Amino acid sequence: MLSMKCKYALKALVVLAAEGKKLPSSAIAQKARVPAKFLEAILTDLRKADALTSERGAHGGHTLKGAPEKIMLGHVVRAMDGMLAPIPCASTFYYKKCDDCTDEKICVIRHAMLEVRNKISEVLDGLSLEDLLNMSPKKKQQLFW
């Protein structure tokens, strides 16, 4: 399950990608329809995840860091929610051994979940913000949801 936080993060980044310019968090919150104060925390996390840069003070705001086609959904989801894999022992970036497993090389649950994690990764690490924008039939009106 994607958390609301992660979904909001994606929406915020789509807005930034579509506008292609610096935006204050209040503007992002309004365009993405996301609780403003919650979004502030999310934007901080996105900055730490190197997805955007922020400028403080009057006329400050947030700017996408790098081109929209370089920012992949997998990166964002991992930064917000952690691993893509259904269980820790099947994760590449957030691997953790199971307590109830003696030999993970033969674990059939893990084998199955590795397949799942690879499919999820194929999709999310293969989709960029730019790809998301291009999915929208109403791109020009900037209606994405």
Partner DNA sequence: TTAATCCATATAACTCTAATAGGAATTGAA
Partner DNA sequence: TTCAATTCCTATTAGAGTTATATGGATTAA
| Residue 65 within binding range of DNA, rule CB under 7 A | no
| Residue 58 within binding range of a second copy, rule CB under 8 A | no
Q: Select from 20-28, 43-51, 57-65, 132-140 the region that touches a second copy (CB under 8 A).
A: 132-140
Which of 31, 62, 110, 117 forms a contact with DNA (CB under 7 A)? Answer: 62
| Closest distance to DNA from the beta carbon of 77 (Å) | 12
CB 76 within 8 Å of CB 70: no
Sort 48 into a burial class: Cβ within 10 Å, 0-12 / 13-18 / 19+.
exposed
Q: Is 48 helix (H, G, I), strand (E, B) or coil?
A: helix
- Report the Cα 79 to chain-centroid distance in Å: 7
* Partner whose binding site includes residue 73, from a second copy, DNA, none (CB under 5 to 8 Å by kind): a second copy
| Residue 58 within binding range of DNA, rule CB under 7 A | yes
| Residue 36 within binding range of a second copy, rule CB under 8 A | no
Residue of 57, 59, 37, 49 whose CA lies nearest to 10: 49
* E strand or H helix at 23: none
Which of 27, 49, 79, 120 forms a contact with a second copy (CB under 8 A)? Answer: 120
Strand partners for 128? 72
Query: What is the size of the binding site for DNA (CB under 7 A)?
Result: 25
Residue of 53, 50, 70 whose CA lies nearest to 62: 53
* Partner whose binding site includes residue 140, from a second copy, DNA, none (CB under 5 to 8 Å by kind): none
| Residue 81 within binding range of DNA, rule CB under 7 A | yes
Nearer to DNA, 9 or 128 (CB): 9
